[in-house]
Amino acid sequence: MQFAPAKRSDISPFEVMQVMAQAAECEARGDHVLHLEVGQPGTPAPRLAREAAKRAIDGQVLGYTLPLGTAALRQRLAQHYRDWYAVDLPAHRIAVTTGSSGGFLLSFLASFSAGDKVLLTDPSYPCYRNILSAIGCEVVRLPAGPETNYQPTVEMLDRVPGLAGAVIASPSNPAGTMMSPAELKDFAVACHERGIRLISDEIYHGLVFDGQADTAARYSESAVVINSFSKYFSMTGWRIGWMVVPDDLVDAVQRLAQNFFISPPGISQVAGLAALDAGEECEANRAIYGRNRQLMLERLPAMGFAKMAPANGAFYIYADVGHWTNDSKAFCSQLLDETGVAITPGLDFDPDRGHRTVRFSYCISQPEIEQALDRLADWLARRAA
Ligand SMILES: Cc1ncc(COP(=O)(O)O)c(C=O)c1O
């Protein structure tokens, strides 16, 4: 008998995983590696979250919860929308998920049927296209560069006939660019009017350095908003996030969540609830990223990185390296091997043009960023000599 994986599982791996594997090899041979490849804060969950989790381990059963999360967390997240955006949402429209990744699976399955066309722009976070492909959707990728601030536009919606959905992220990964509130409003309203389901990934909200991040929930009742405790709240490993679900999808998302996951992790819901009150600690982390960003924006152009996306939010810098190489993968691999600085080739985010781009992540400590920039400057100077 011959066995083979199902065709639907034939999706791309992450290039960043190969960088991480090479970084581990470098560390095994004794190199000191500076990790600018992963989008993972170097800080732990906020103190309040860790304390709440410790108390819960000792004092609670921590069994299954309701499939869309505990009432306490859903209500607190509804409050979060009042506090951050002055948007009033009923708690029944909040669904707690296993990170935003769980939110993508649930929202894509609830929103789209096999064969549906969903618009994405390149560069973007690779899981959007990979999850959509795995569930049988037709992914339509359009390039978005500096002329549209690396973001999709209403004109792009009209370029593709028969769209069922569109996925956006503001701030985005890898470009760190944002739609202004007016652009977000126009895009969300245009999607709603055309019957296109908008999925708005707002995972980098809170990490904004220039401009204002608004929520699509303000402008569209049919938009799904995805968010997470992973980034601003520094809780990647806790696997906890949430969605704002349109009324017409609440029941579908609930049935999918029951069957796929039973419930989101109980202990992480306790920790997430406490994290929402840890604004001071999260803001202190953001201030570190802000200083790192400043350093990078000052020093990278002087080293020859002439074209970089504006990096208004998130904790990434997406830079063109086309004047040095046509093979960003080899460029990153050589940089890591010779200097211990790990960065990600753009291919994860843009399969067509990412061979000329790289992404720097700057959510580690300031001394580490300074050291990485020193090593990078030396390396580039040696290459040029
Ligand atoms: C844009 C974007 N969305 C979603 C995710 C996944 O996050 P989570 O840990 O919440 O599943 C990431 C992770 O890097 C991301 O960059």
- Taking the C-alpha atoms of residue 310 and residue 192, their distance in angstroms, rounded to an integer, is 29
Q: What angle do CA 345, 350, 351 make, to 5 degrees?
A: 90
Per CATH, domain 62-277 is 3.40.640.10 = yes
Residue 248's alpha-carbon distances to 108, 238, 245, 251, in angstroms, are: 14, 29, 8, 7
Q: Stretch 102-128: mean pLDDT, rounded?
A: 98
- Those residues whose C-beta lies under 8 Å from the C-beta of residue 28, and which sit 6 or more positions away, are none
89: left (phi over 0), alpha (psi -120 to 50) or beta: beta
pLDDT value for 1:
87
Identical fold for domains 7-44+280-384 and 62-277, yes or no, is yes
β-strands 341-342, 34-35: how paired? parallel
Q: What is the pLDDT of residues 332-350, one digit of tens each?
A: 999 999 999 999 999 999 9
Q: Stretch 102-115: mean pLDDT, rounded?
A: 98
CA of 203 to the centre of ligand 1 (A): 7
CA of 227 to the centre of ligand 1 (A): 9
User: For residues 233 and 282, is the Cβ–Cβ distance under 8 A?
Assistant: yes
CA of 172 to the centre of ligand 1 (A): 10
Does the global pTM surpass 0.85? yes
Per CATH, domain 7-44+280-384 is 3.40.640.10 = yes
Give, using CA atoms, the residue closest to atom 14 of ligand 1.
Answer: 39
3-state SS of 271-331 is HHHHHCCCHHHHHHHHHHHHHHHHHHHHHHHHHCCCCECCCCECCEEEEECCCCCCCHHHH
Write down the H helix ranges in 60-199. Answer: 71-85, 99-111, 126-134, 154-159, 181-194
CA of 371 to the centre of ligand 1 (A): 27
Nearest residue to 265 (alpha-carbon basis) of 136, 109, 102: 102
pLDDT greater than 90 at residue 54: yes
Is ligand 1 within 6 A of the CB of residue 125? yes
Q: Where exactly are the structural domains of the chain?
A: 7-44+280-384, 62-277
- Taking the C-alpha atoms of residue 80 and residue 86, their distance in angstroms, rounded to an integer, is 9
Q: What is the pLDDT of residues 177-213, one digit of tens each?
A: 999 999 999 999 999 999 999 999 999 999 999 999 9
Q: Stretch 344-369: mean pLDDT, rounded?
A: 96
**Phi then psi dihedrals of residue 201, to 5 deg:** -85, 110
pLDDT band at 14 (very low <50, low <70, confident <90, very high): confident
Query: Helices H, strands E: what count in the chain?
Result: 12, 12
pLDDT value for 179:
97
Is ligand 1 within 6 A of the CB of residue 241? yes
Q: Three-class SS of residue 247?
A: helix
- Taking the C-alpha atoms of residue 320 and residue 322, their distance in angstroms, rounded to an integer, is 6
Radius of gyration (C-alpha) of the chain in whole angstroms:
21
